[in-house]
Structure 1
Amino acid sequence: MHDPYNAFTLGGDVYIDGTGDGPLAGLTFAAKDVFDIAGYVTGAGNPDWRRLAEPARATAWAVTRLLESGARLVGKTHTDELTRGIFGDNSHYGTPENPRAPGHVPGGSSSGSAVAVAGGLANLALGTDTAGSTRVPASFCGVWGLRPTLGAIPMEGVIGQSGTFDTVGLLADSADHLARMGEVLLRKKPPTQRPDRAVVLEDALEASDPAVADAIEAALPLIADAVAPVKRGTHFSQVPLAEWVEPQNAIQGHEAWETFGDWINRSNPRFGFEVADNLLRGARVSKTSLSAARGFRLRARRWVQEALDGHAVLVLPTTPVTAPPVHSPRSVMWEIRSRIISLTSIAAMAGVPQISLPLCQVEGRPLGLSLIGPRGGDGLLLAAARRIAAAL
């Protein structure tokens, strides 16, 4: 495949035809290079992992499900190393080029998957989402993306990092394609009922750049028409959203070190600076910090559930910023990373689904508007996306 955006991995030229005339027949998909394909090495964005890994013995459940539904696999896509990043850069393989915002990062860690869709190289793509790794690139690249309810789609045959937060992520070039993909992987049809109200999270708007907040405000009439009556004035969190970052990082970092620490100790692999820093921070999380973070997560889940009570969906920017320029200083990116996680941790902490809709632009760059639904409400969000797309 011609790949002008560096979306696909070296050695990622995996082509497998779908079977039969299922609901995804005629569509193509790409898979993040953490999904096993039988007979191929899963590289996970790190050359030492790829060098030491054996070819997969079986194909990941989600890949198999898409193939059996008629979609054709067209390749494996780049990821941040071991999925431990949020901007899409990779010190070994380079940064996939953002087709919708040239010169700006694509977002990660499902960077190649989002770029493949945004660049017209695939209709659908599989990613993963732990702290935003599907939602962030969906926002930055201007595509449709879903983080499902935690546990709704099996992670079988997928390299994850944090069992508390890891989900399969879905990316697509249209609302209809995303919904069809979701129906296949979630194994259920979207409901016909609509939410009772769309609750704007004022906390999230206040934590975002003013231009981002303005873009979301401008899209609210569309949400009111296509989704549900818009309710304003809700500050759902009992602490500033910036204070959600440390608990998210503590749990995720600790579990990532539990996942990869033994391999790192044995193999002494090469990592980019930021990935190495993230892994080492996770190794040093104290029992006290971890206990406090898990207690915070329980409270955060309750706050989200209370805001969703009564068949509501929540409205917020997917990211508080648009895609920053490639090669921005690390110190600048660290601050942006924390601001992003302050929003993406809402659904991650609660284990609920979130859909990113490519409805907004700021200075010509894409920006996702997100809807968060109740646990198990994935179909509710996919149906809302279809109605929004029909109204555009």
Structure 2
Amino acid sequence: MRDPWNAFMPYPDADVGHAAVGPLSGLRLAVKDLFDVAGYPTAAGNAAVLAASGIKTSTAPLVQTLLDAGACFVGKTNTDELAYSLIGGNVHFGMPINPRDPDLIPGGSSSGSAVAVAAGLADIGLGTDTSGSIRLPAAVNGLIGWRPTYGSLDNRALRPLAPSFDVPGFMTRSLEPMAALMSALGMPAANDRPPSILIPENVFATIDGAVADEMIASLRSAGMPVRRTNAIDSFSLSDLALAFITILQREAWETNRTLFERSPEAIAPDIAARLLSGSRLNDEEVREACRIRKLFSAEIDRLLHENVVVALPTLAMSPPRRDAEPGCFAAFRSACIKLLCLSGLSGCPQLAFPIVNYVANASLSLFGARSADRTLINVARRLRAE
């Protein structure tokens, strides 16, 4: 396959079979290079991990489920190093090119899967989402992005980053293949009661006013019950982001400590610095972060139990150029995590999708109760109906 976008890892082709008939027949599957696929190594975006990998002899159960449903494997895709960024860069294997706007970052860490789908090289992009690594590149590349309910999909033979947040997820160009995926993966059916949409004003106040107005107008045009609220919980976005980052950094350090201690020079300086930050956290900081997560999760469960879907902007700001200074990348990452961390802290599903007919193709998200993944796709269908 010709790949001018650097979406795929440059591995020799190996035969990966799939069912001839199934609900995903005819759909091409690109797999983030964190999942094992028989006949291929798993590099996780790091040259030292690649050197130690060897060729895998079995396929991750989730990937096998997709193959058994008829999806056709077309390659393993590029990822930010150790899946520990939201930008899409990689000092070992290069940054994929955003097909929508080659001057902008592709977003990460599921950068290659997003670019493969956006470029028409795949129909399904399998990736992972810890702090936004499905939702953010989906938004940047104009795709549908689904972060499933935490723990609902099999994550065996998947290299972890922060296990209490890591979720396998998907990107597609439209809602129909995403709905087929949810069905093929056995996600619970949506209930018959139409949900109401909740708009948290404190969240929409953080983004550009014109974009916020367009999103809210889109929500109101669908003819569904819509109401506003000051906030969906008792915590500030900054406090939630700090709690999230604290837990993330501690778990990322624990996951990658052996690699860091054996081959520190094999890790890009910015990734190494974040790993070191996790090593320096004290137990009290982590306990406080876990306390906030528990309280926040309980508040969200109470709110969403009432058949409510929360509408959120997917991104806090426009993505930077691929040649921007590191400080711009850091500012973008920090701003976006304040919105993206809500799903991670609560374990609830989130679906991101572009607003129909909006000139900037801004991305809106729906955030729902645990196991309400298919409710989100139903609401998105109504919002995107022309």
What range is the shorter-chain TM-score in?
over 0.9
Task: Report how far residue 192 of structure 1 moved.
Answer: 5.4
Counterpart for residue 103 of structure 2? 103
1:85 aligned to 2:81? Answer: no
Q: Name the SS for the 1:369 alignment partner.
A: strand
Please identify, of 273-282 and 339-348, the stretch whose mean Cα deviation from structure 2 is larger: 273-282
Aligned to 1:352, which of 334, 342, 348? 348
- What is the DSSP-based 3-state SS (H/G/I as helix, E as strand, rest coil) of the residue aligned with 2:25? coil
In the alignment, which of 272, 276, 279 is matched to residue 280 of structure 1?
276
Aligned to 1:26: 26
| Correspondence for 1:219 | 218
Change (3 A) 1:218 1:106: farther
State the aligned residue count.
Answer: 386
Q: Deviations over 1:176-204 (max 9, x none)?
A: 1011112222x145325254310012121
Deviations 1:231-258 (A, max 9, x none): 1134123232122221111111111111
In structure 2, the CA distance between the partners of 1:221 and 1:30, relative to structure 1 (3 Å rule), is same
Residues 162 and 252 in structure 1, CA contact (< 8 A), matched pair in contact too: yes
Per-residue deviation at 1:305? Answer: 2.2
> Is contact 2:14-2:39 (8 Å) kept?
no
Preserved CA contact (<8 Å) 1:357 1:368: yes
* Partner residue in 2 for 1:375: 370
Q: Using the alignment, how far apart are the partners of 1:326 and 1:62 within structure 2?
A: 32
TM-score (structure 1 length as normaliser): 0.94
Task: Tell me if the contact between 2:250 and 2:279 (Cα under 8 Å) persists in the aligned partners.
Answer: yes
Secondary structure, aligned partner of 1:73: strand
Q: CA deviation at 1:55?
A: 1.9
**Residue of structure 2 in register with 1:201 after alignment:** 200
Q: Counterparts of 1:12 and 1:307 in 2: how far apart (Å)?
A: 49
1:325 equivalent in alignment to 2:324: no
Q: 1:298 & 1:60 partners in 2: Cα distance?
A: 30
For residue 17 of structure 1, report the CA deviation from its aligned partner: 4.1
Q: 1:114 deviation in Å? A: 0.7
Aligned to 1:47: 47
Letter in 2 for 1:50: L
- Mapped to 1, the partners of 2:376 and 2:14 lie a distance apart of 31
Secondary structure of residue in 2 paired with 1:151 = coil
Q: Deviations over 1:220-278 (max 9, x none)?
A: 234x33xx311113412323212222111111111111111012212334222221111
The aligned counterpart of 1:3 is: 3
> What fraction of aligned residue pairs are identical, expressed as a percent?
37
User: What aligned pairs does 1:64-213 form with structure 2 within 5 A after superposition?
Assistant: 64-185=64-185, 187-188=186-187, 190-191=189-190, 193-213=192-212
Cα drift, residue 360 of structure 1:
5.9
* TM-score (norm: length of structure 2): 0.95
Q: Quick one: structure 1 residues 314 and 73, their matched pair in 2 at CA, closer, same or farther if it must change by over 3 Å?
A: same
Kindly provide the amino acid, as one letter, of the partner of residue 297 in structure 2. Answer: R
Match of 1:242 among 233, 238, 241: 238
Contact kept in structure 1, 2:7 and 2:97, CA below 8 Å: yes
What secondary structure does 2:146 align onto? strand
Match in the other structure for 1:386 = 381
Counterpart of 1:206, as a letter, is A
8 A contact 1:182–1:382 mirrored in 2 = no
Shift of 1:14: 5.0
Determine helix, strand or coil for the equivalent of 1:163.
coil
Residue of structure 1 equivalent to 2:287: 291
Give the aligned partner of residue 333 of structure 2. 337
Report deviation, 1:162. 1.1
1:314 to 307, 310, 316: 310
Instruction: Give the Cα–Cα distance (whole angstroms) in 2 for the partners of residues 259 and 17 of structure 1.
Output: 31
User: Matched residue of 1:128: which SS?
Assistant: strand
Per the alignment, in what secondary structure is the counterpart of residue 243 of structure 1?
Answer: helix
Q: Could you list the structure 1 runs, at least 4 aligned residues long, displaced by more than 6 angstroms after superposition.
A: none
Q: 2:12 & 2:129 partners in 1: Cα distance? A: 21
Deviation at 1:356, TM superposition (A): 0.4
Partner SS, residue 339 of structure 1 = helix
Aligned residue identity for 2:377: L
